[in-house]
Chains A and B, each alone.
Chain A
C-alpha cells in the first residue's frame, strides 16, 4: 500500500544546514509536499514539487526529488531557532480526490 517514511528526529546547530529526508512508495504521485507544524498549531504549507522536477529552491529551502529511488529531501539553509518544528512529508494518493498520505513527521530541534 501507500506509505511515506521519515526519520523522527533531527538536531542541528543554529546557522548550520538541516536536511530532512523522506521516502515514498507511490511512483504515480504527481506532487510531493512539505508542511511545517509548530507546537499546538495546524500545518503550514512550506513548499511542494511536481514529479517531473528534480529540484526546487525557494529562499532558504531546497527540495530535491529522486524519482528512481522515491526519495525526497528538504534542505533548510542557515537554520534558525524559529525553524524548530515538526516537518511532514506528504504525497498525493493515487486514489484521487487530492488525498494526501503523510509521513509521521520529523521533529527538528535547533540549538545554539
Chain B
C-alpha cells in the first residue's frame, strides 16, 4: 500500500547528541514537510521541500537540519543546538496543490 513511513516510533536523545528521524514515502509526491507538535498546540512547520535537492526553512527551523537527496526520502536531524527537542514529529507529503498526507509520527524524548 502507498503511504508515509516514519521511523523510529520512539527515540531518545542524550545531551549534546544529534539524532536523525526517518521519513520515507512511496506516493510519488514531490513535496515533503516536517512538523513539530507540542501538547495543546497545533503543528508548526520546521522544513519543507518542493523538489529533490531543494528545501526551505519553515517557521521553527533553528536547531534542525534536513536533506532531500531522493524523492522518496526526507530525513530530519535534530541537532544539539535544539535546546528543547522533546516533541512529537510528523512528516507529510503532497502532490502539487493536493492535501498533505501524514505519517504516524516519531516521539522524541530527552534522556
Q: Which residues of A contact B (CB under 8 A)?
A: 4, 8, 30-31, 33, 35, 40-45, 48, 88, 90, 97-100, 102-105
Q: Could you tell me if A98 and B94 are in contact, using CB atoms closer than 8 angstroms?
A: yes
Interface of B is mostly: strand
Q: Which residues of B contact A (CB under 8 A)?
A: 4, 6, 31, 40-45, 48, 50, 56, 58, 90, 92, 94, 97, 99-105, 107
Give the distance in Å from the alpha carbon of A31 to the alpha carbon of B100 in the complex.
Answer: 12
Out of B43, B56, B99, B101, which one reaches A97, CB within 8 Å?
Answer: B56
Q: Which residue of A lies closest to B4 (CB)?
A: A42
CB of A9, distance to nearest CB on chain B (Å): 10
Q: Which residue of A lies closest to B100 (CB)?
A: A100
Q: Hey, which chain A residues are within 8 Å of B31, CB to CB?
A: 97-98
Give the distance in Å from the alpha carbon of A47 to the alpha carbon of B48 in the complex.
Answer: 23
